[in-house]
Chains A and B, each alone.
Chain A
């Protein structure tokens, strides 16, 4: 059956859908790495915010403000063009050349410079938002908990690690999940620096086939599946993290 004129008289051939599936896989992989790195860094930043030293607190505040109040797109371009400009030419040549390490039958390919720049920019940007959520969670833990743990002879670090953080994490589960869904959506910006993720591949398919509607429909559907999948996985993980409460 030939589709009507507004659908461009054609359907997508399977290998084009394959391109977009590859794009979706890269989107998922990038988002997963970013979520991990951003959470680690976010916890560190939130801990830094509670430090005694004023200089540490000021540095954390500056980091949060600079990353939250500038567009991700600009941060991506800054890492991609700006940092590439700072590195010596030999380093850039090495980064742009393919490198492979074969370990016990597994081949690890060194990712492209675009991917590394995207990973760094996205992780730093998301970490700032994760840190704010965790900070709000820490604030929600009653001050008495802190005082009681100190009175029991715990060091401030132990108090943060064993008393405050577990309770704070319970509170921030939901907002954190929201941030992770945001990360999936934000990976789409990396197409601007040439990361071949889902949005990039949908544009590629679109310009190759001129089947605009079909290409974007498939990409949109894949994004919906990724976001809904993450939402379901997060909803299942929450009771476990919540300690049965």
Chain B
């Protein structure tokens, strides 16, 4: 068999895993993990950034320290914590996919917390004063005046973090979740003949996915520039 034949014979498996006969896997599972983790990380980051802006001193300290800790440790370590410890602590069987999503969402959220906080801080004090003097509460000023402007500044941070998250879905390989990278190593072990073409194909799939995100991010930013300060 040539390399092309090996790839095309395994393409379905690389893209979908053993679905529909078995559970979803391959690139489809990577997409599910990536999308869920990106959504959760964005919500966590937004919440964290807002707490760092409006929270009580104790709460701010708590969020700042836990986010700094999460940013300082490798994703692999956090995946280990979630994968091996959650079942021990709660005496329940947590599926590998969920533990990976939890780990990725926590780390992504920690980085986005920093980005959201910095974005909010970049909006001038005059905007806050204007909002407060109009009789808005601090929360209203943040939600109606500061955050809409700050989100524009944060677009590149969010897009970069989503790209990092997409690439980090491949870490699920370490705990044996059947996403794209794991499935590729299975194909490689089974076929044994064309390791380079197999992994190059997988790299190309990830590259298309990430490059698509880069392109969307650039368009999104350009849109904000065109619309201007509306």
Does B6 have its Cβ within 8 Å of any Cβ on chain A?
no
- Per-residue contact bits, chain A 55-91, to B (CB 8 Å; 1 contact, 0 not): 0000000000110111111110110011111100000
Measured CA separation A6–B195 after assembly (Å): 42
Task: List residues of A (29-74) whose CB comes within 8 Å of B's CBs.
Answer: 65-66, 68-74
Closest B-chain residue to A75, C-beta based? B203
Contact A185 B200 (CB under 8 A): no
State the main secondary structure of chain A at its contact with B. helix
Min CB–CB distance A143 → chain B (angstroms): 23
Q: Which residues of B contact A228 (CB under 8 A)?
A: 72
Contact B72 A227 (CB under 8 A): yes
Q: Which residues of B contact A192 (CB under 8 A)?
A: 173-174
Contact A85 B206 (CB under 8 A): no
Task: List residues of B (157-177) whose CB comes within 8 Å of A's CBs.
Answer: 163, 166-171, 173-174
Task: List residues of B (172-206) whose CB comes within 8 Å of A's CBs.
Answer: 173-174, 181, 184-185, 188, 194-196, 199-200, 202-203, 206
- Report which B residues bind A (CB closer than 8 A): 69, 72-77, 80-81, 84-85, 88-89, 163, 166-171, 173-174, 181, 184-185, 188, 194-196, 199-200, 202-203, 206-207, 210-211, 214
Contact A70 B77 (CB under 8 A): no
Does A126 have its Cβ within 8 Å of any Cβ on chain B?
no
**CB within 8 Å for A185 and B181 given contacts A71-B170, A82-B200:** no
Measured CA separation A213–B184 after assembly (Å): 31
**CB within 8 Å for A69 and B214 given contacts A74-B170, A77-B181:** yes
